[in-house]
Structure 1
Amino acid sequence: MHLAIIGDDSLPDSTLVHAKMLHELASEFIKQGHTVIIIAPGKPKQAERLNKSFIDNITYWKFKSGKLRGHGKIKRAINETLLSFNAWLAVRREIEKEPFDGVIYYSPSTFFGLLVKKIKAKNSCKSYLILRDMFPQWAIDEGLIRKGSLIEKYFRYFESVNYSASDYIGLMSPKNLTLFTDKYQDKFKTHVLYNWADINASFPRSGNADLRETYGLQGKVIFFYGGNIGHAQDMGNLLRLAHSMKEVTNAHFLFLGQGDEVTLVKETIESQNLTNTTLLPSVSQAKYKEILSQVDIGLFSLAASHKTHNFPGKLLGYMVESLPILGSINEGNDLSGVITDVNAGYILVNGQDAEFCNAAKALAADKNLRKQIGDNANRLLASQFSVESAAKIILNNLNS
């Protein structure tokens, strides 16, 4: 099959986990004998409307687009609204020469539905939506968008277009599937599609101590958070953990990424004198993997107000590197059972600060415990979250 994969960010410049996930999915399809083109936003000032490039034998079509992150909510909303329009202008003649047999698109963003509909109409093919972000619902839950407002109606329109463009929808967990089907009944063809990773992608451990030498972390147990630093993650939750661990002299917290709460993290580190916490800006995927290979514990956090059941993609990178997982979730999130049933980490409900701190102290104190739990996390990856499994599910649906 000749497949299109559409996402709102891409390698080599992206630091987002889903950009890596889509690249690994494309690589798996190619291994199976298919051809793949990844369609994604390029840069605002690129000379041509469409730039073509190759990474690891995967073809990328990058269309001219405004920036989507780090430039304010209003500007981002405008640029995301224009995604389908800008992409269609760039690719419409190309897909006449290279018609697709299937379209796979990833949400977020919520704004690719119009593009997918146009490609389907032009190529008479099926589409598969990888639904990871039930926007705008989470933003309403967080109080960022007022329920019933014109802004909600605006985003709800594009959400409905996004869903209606799909022939099949893969949701990231059983409870997310239940939430979605309860709301939409049998309107869409849905099933569970877990996040995935290349289980053979572990970064070679060279034995050097670059990270520890650079930041003076020799002898420290490094608690690492990498990825989006935003409202949905409730970074204040992780900062409270770091504060409660100030007296644990061998523990250090390393946060890396970009997002709406970077300023909050910076100001909290300064105002509370969190000398056990370091904030780093986003890095390339290669550098990110190198850092992952040198840290000890993988952190994540989800806002307590979430109603959906998110499975952060960053967990897969932690599992690849056999890191024990320490996380905080919204009440009832089925991620807890997935991790704790196989002893791959400690998962607490956001707000259980004392229990969260005790779990962190246990991991900081016991190297053998970290190894045992980390090995369990790696085995969990291989059994349930492999890229081979995801590719099989998607292709079976597109061929049905």
Structure 2
Amino acid sequence: MAHAPQIRIPATYMRGGTSKGVFFRLQDLPEAARVPGAARDALLLRVIGSPDPYGKQIDGMGGATSSTSKTVIVSKSSKADHDVDYLFGQVAIDRAFVDWSGNCGNLSAAVGPFAISNGLIEPDRVPDDGVATVRIWQANIGKTIIAHVPITNGVVEETGDFELDGVSFPAAKVQLDFMDPAGEEDGTSGAMFPTGNLVDDLNVPSIGTFKVTMINAGIPTIFLNADAIGYKGTELQVAINSDPKALAMFETIRAHGAVRMGLIKHIDEIASREHTPKIAFVARPADYMASSGEPVAAEDVDLLVRAMSMGKLHHAMMGTAAVAIATAAAIPGTLVSLAAGGEARNAVRFGHPSGTLRVGAEASLADGQWKVAKAIMSRSARVLMEGWVRAPADTL
């Protein structure tokens, strides 16, 4: 019986923030997969191990969670004043679908290090010792990210003492500046607040009407108050991910919010947007025990946030959602700001299931419109494995 041989493709398996994924240089992909379309999606699905009806991604590189079912394609930039183009693909686990509608803020931290280590940055841009500045064009949403990558002896620094809740081991810190993070290219509105309001009443038939802040910064995000949906904001993954009714409720609210934000025209279209918008709930500070077993004290945080990703409660916090949190916290009157005390602030520390995270944003009001120059967040990144990834030749 004839069998299809496997092809091998240069790839790097990297952790960025609290996510990990398979990174490719565009030039290394098979020719058919160098352009958007069915061939590219089919290849990435096969590499990650989807669709998997067992939900484990055993026959691929994925880790069967939204944080570990990810792919990245990097190339020299086609944009002026940028070094590289970065394209992110969120791979569904149980169905044949790659969502290109948004960015991954966590993996953004690994793009600069990957680009430097793989020859996509001119050598004279990389100091022998110091910090290399990499200007990244985030192609999914048409935004600029500036990565500040530590360099020692001319190579990317990966080990260090920077600790990030949700990651087991310390590493070197990579600061990310998300420039002008409001709006996205594929939405019908480039406004930070698509409805024009800081808070809206969102009517969800058969569930209720909720106060929500719908913001488009970093990634489109719908914020609710925890107590409005029966939670305290201290919940860990098991409390929600083991409750099918809760998961269905969040997905229904997300669908109706997506319609109000102009991201889809009908709630039935939400199946084509698993990655965006995100939905999160906020609460005033309270003591709780993080998933690591370490206590988080109310006085150590400004508010509590729990966020859903790909239909499940995230184990920590998505990087792009952290940008949305930072932006909303900087604007008095949003639900995020109110949960944090209501005053104007340029930085906020919030509690999530794995611990805490500090993020900042520079917001200003001009001509009645809120603008955010940039949001700032520190993450870490590390190469886990490099070489070749294999896929059956008949995948393409």
Q: TM-score range by the shorter chain?
A: 0.3 to 0.5
**TM-score when normalising by structure 1:** 0.33
Alignment TM-score, normalising by the size of structure 2: 0.33
Structure in which a larger fraction of residues adopt strand: 2
Q: Which has the higher contact order (CA 8 A, sep 6+)?
A: 2
